[in-house]
Amino acid sequence: MHITEVFTTYIHYLIHPFKTHEQFLHPDRFETPLSEYSSYQSLGISWVFAVINGLGRIVILNFVLVMLVSLIRDTELNTIINIGEISSLYLIILSTALDVIFFPLFGFFIIQFWDIIIRAVAYLLETPGNLAVKADRIISVYLSANIFRIVPILGGPIKSLAGMVLLYAGLRKQLNASPLLSVCVILTPILSMMVVFSIIMLLVLLSF
C-alpha cells in the first residue's frame, strides 16, 4: 500500500469516526472499501507524527536558546545572568528526544489499558461478535488523534479532546453503548487517577 493511501486512511479515521466504524461493521453497504489497520499499525503511524512533533519542538527550543544567548551577550544582562544556566534548555531537548524514543512503549501500555477496559464493557453489555476485534478497531481509530501532535503548542490539548470524541464514536458504534456509559468509559483514566490519589491521601493521613 502506498504511503499516501496509508495517511489518507488514517485521516479518514480522524475526520469520520462514526462512518469509519459503520464501514467496519457493514462493509457491504459502501461502494469503496476502507482499509483497516490494527491498533499496533495505527501506533506505528502515530509514531511518525510523534517524531515530527519532537523535531519541531527541538528546532523551536534551539531557536529560543540562540535568541536568548544573543540577547544576553548583547545587553547588560550578561553581567546579571549566567549564560551557562541556559544549558538547562538542553535538558528539555533531551526529554523531548526521550519522549519520541519511548513513544511506542507508552503507546503499547495505552493499547493494553484500553483493550482491557473496552473488552470488559463489551462483556458486561453482552455485545455480540468478536470482542477482541471490536476493541482493536476502537483503539486503532482512537490513535488517529495523534495527527494533532504536529500542531505547535495546542496540539496536545486538541489531541486529547479529539481522542475522547473518537473513543465515544467507537463505543457507540462497535458496542452499542449508551451515551452516558460511553462518557463514563472515556473518563475511566481520570476516575482511576482520582481513586489512586484518594487512597494515597488516605494512607498519608492515617500514617500521622
Domains identified in the chain, total number: 1
Taking alpha carbons only, the member of 30, 44, 28 closest to residue 140 is 44
Lowest mean pLDDT among 75-84, 87-96, 119-128, 137-146: 75-84
C-alpha pair distances (Å), 49 with each of 66, 153, 156: 26, 14, 12
Q: Helices marked H in 75-178 — which ranges?
A: 88-101, 103-124, 131-143, 155-174
What are the grid coordinates assigned to 86, written together?
Answer: 541556559
What's the pLDDT at 87?
Answer: 56
pLDDT, tens only, 5-36: 888 899 999 999 999 999 999 988 888 888 88
Global model pTM greater than 0.75: yes
The domain of 27 spans 3-207
Distance, CA of 154 to CA of 171 (rounded, Å): 26
pLDDT, tens only, 82-96: 545 555 566 777 777
Instruction: Indicate whether 43 pLDDT > 60.
Output: yes
Distance of CA 49 to the CA centre of its chain: 11
Residue 74: other Cβ atoms inside 10 A: 9
Which whole number is the average pLDDT over 104-112? 94
Our CA angle for 141, 9, 17, nearest 5°, is 40
- Residue 156, phi-psi category: left (phi > 0), alpha (psi -120 to 50), beta (remainder): alpha
24, 36 in Cβ contact below 8 A?
yes
Distance, CA of 180 to CA of 54 (rounded, Å): 36
Q: Which residues contact 123 (CB under 8 A, 6 or more apart)?
A: 131
